[in-house]
Structure 1
Amino acid sequence: MFVKFASINRDTMLKEERFQIILNQLGHEQKVYLGHLSTLLNVSEDTVRRDIKELADQGLLKSVRGGAVPHSPGPHHFRDRMKYDNEQKQIIATKTLPFLKDGQVVIFDGGTSALLIAQMLPKDLKLTVITNSFPIASILEEHEHVDVLFAGGRLLKDSFVTIGNDCIQFFKKFRADICLLGICSIHADLGVTGPDFEESEVKRTMIESSKEVIALATTEKLGTAEAYYVCPTERLSTIITDKEPESSAFDIYRKLGISMA
């Protein structure tokens, strides 16, 4: 149900007022449409389109065909992400451990949830881990029963991962059992997306090289979108969140054949 606001005369409404109404509506509905906003704000769709573009340029939402969806919340730099939602990520990491079995080949991407999983791996678990994450490779160097294959390439300093063609070609050599995919944004219609083009290219190759893809996502990242496409949502095998998997909020993903955990 759309949130209702008092009608405001188009001649007296300030642009900043329109911006706030658009953001409030987006916060309640998780998606806004040009036609509805045009009626709600009593302005033309062209005006709404310009407002959405300006809000998108400020990084406050993601413009999509016919409207807008939220950006993923939270910081993008690795050091800042390490301190953000740590309790929720601990829950996700704990839920993920039962999916890992002796003898598996597992791709770990460079997300902070994947890093927590690496820290929590049982000392007797025997895995082959393929990663482009410097922090994860460093942690697993001390794990006696985990073989680590590290992807070279150019360092993406914001994320402490390697990117580029050498990295992509490295991941193409494998057929992993599982890919543990740290998620920036998932949207049922728009797919999995990320804020960096080259890192999104690497994630796409990780997915293509894996039988099963387990998405690691705090619930606030669901229903959001970023600029760079990674894969369709239905390519995910499982989404592991910090909430109870039975929640009706996840029905939209179950309808796509995705397991929730």
Structure 2
Amino acid sequence: MIKAERHTLILESLAKDHKVLLDQISKVLLVSEDTVRRDIKELSDKGLLKAVRGGAIPKSNIPMHFKERQHIAIGLKKIIAEKVLEYIKPGMVVLIDAGTSVLAAVVNLPKDIELTVVTNSFPVASILEDYPKIEVLFMGGKLNKTSFSTTGHETIEAVRNIRADICLMGICSIDSTMGVTGDDYEDSLIKRAMVETSKSTIALSTYDKLGTCESFYICGTNQLDVIITEADPSLAFFDDYKKMGITIQ
């Protein structure tokens, strides 16, 4: 089998199973694991997948700028936003990051709910201006113009002074092996601090972001308490996450 054919089969297998394992695909292709490893590296260099130990996973292609992300998968984010409501109780202190799925959840909050919201997101703070019973604590820092949020040492220190009941965190990529990752270094540091200081972390993610990986590590997948997507929680794909004790909604 020539290289081009192997590459095609590797990408087809990745699209079907959300991952490629060296030992398995080498048997399918009837070549050595070293050959497959070289093929995967070439495909990774072209930006077609993410090479990981033992194989490959899809590479996330989420646009970085908030303005672009805000208009993607609007209907799916509304489904996620509805599912979030059962976890938010009056009187809670809620830590909210700058994800667009999280913003959809904020828009969906009841107007009369009483909460304390701590956030580094300008859009979240702006929306909550119209919620009379929600106290908003906005964390200062350096403006990240791609996410419309604050980042940097000052923001991280502010996060570390909070012990929120729950953290609502928008996710760029989650993989059961590689963990939770992001494509922006400074934003990933903020998310990491939020996970570390919250009593419970709820990840909001459209299904297509699961089984993908980006460059900057946020936390281990097993540090999440709940993953909320628009997909059916009974899908076999979620079994690895459930084995970690994560609730899938």
Q: TM-score, normalised by structure 2?
A: 0.92
Instruction: State, as a whole percentage, how many aligned pairs show the same letter.
Output: 53
How far the C-alpha of 1:142 sits from its partner, in A, is 2.1
State whether structure 2 residue 98 is matched by structure 1 residue 110.
yes
Matched residue, 1:181: 169
Q: Distance in 2 between matches of 1:221 and 1:134?
A: 24
Does the CA-based 8 Å contact 1:73-1:221 persist in structure 2?
A: no
| Equivalent position amino acid for 1:218 in 2 | T
Q: Distance in 1 between matches of 2:193 and 2:247?
A: 22
Matched residue, 1:80: 68
Gaps of 5+ in 1: 1-7
State whether structure 2 residue 98 is matched by structure 1 residue 100.
no
Does the CA-based 8 Å contact 2:96-2:117 persist in structure 1?
A: yes
Q: Distance in 2 between matches of 1:55 and 1:149?
A: 45
Greater CA radius of gyration, 1 or 2? 1
Q: Distance in 1 between matches of 2:47 and 2:143?
A: 25
User: 2:144 is matched with which residue: 145, 153, 156?
Assistant: 156
Matched residue, 1:5: none
How far the C-alpha of 1:18 sits from its partner, in A, is 3.4
Q: Distance in 1 between matches of 2:151 and 2:84?
A: 25
Matched residue, 2:77: 89
How far the C-alpha of 1:245 sits from its partner, in A, is 2.4
Secondary structure of the residue aligned to 2:165 is strand
How far the C-alpha of 1:55 sits from its partner, in A, is 2.3
Does the CA-based 8 Å contact 2:228-2:248 persist in structure 1?
A: yes
| Equivalent position amino acid for 1:64 in 2 | V
Q: How does 1:23-172 map to 2 (within 5 A)?
A: 23-41=11-29, 45-172=33-160
Does the CA-based 8 Å contact 2:62-2:172 persist in structure 1?
A: no
Matched residue, 2:226: 238
Matched residue, 1:220: 208
CA, structure 1 residues 29+245, in 2 after alignment: closer, same or farther (shift >3 Å)? closer
Q: Distance in 2 between matches of 1:248 and 1:37?
A: 21
| Equivalent position amino acid for 1:84 in 2 | I
Q: Distance in 1 between matches of 2:184 and 2:172?
A: 10
How far the C-alpha of 1:44 sits from its partner, in A, is 5.1
Alignment size in residue pairs: 249
Question: What does the per-residue CA deviation read over 1:171-206, in whole Å, with 9 as the maximum and x for residues that have no partner?
Answer: 000000000011111111221111122211110000
Question: What does the per-residue CA deviation read over 1:53-102, in whole Å, with 9 as the maximum and x for residues that have no partner?
Answer: 23223322111112111122432321121111111110000110121111
How far the C-alpha of 1:218 sits from its partner, in A, is 1.3
Does the CA-based 8 Å contact 2:202-2:225 persist in structure 1?
A: yes
| Equivalent position amino acid for 2:115 in 1 | L
Secondary structure of the residue aligned to 1:50 is helix
Q: Distance in 1 between matches of 2:121 and 2:45?
A: 30
Does the CA-based 8 Å contact 1:74-1:84 persist in structure 2?
A: no
Q: Distance in 1 between matches of 2:43 and 2:121?
A: 33
Secondary structure of the residue aligned to 1:176 is coil
Matched residue, 2:181: 193
Q: TM-score, normalised by structure 1?
A: 0.88
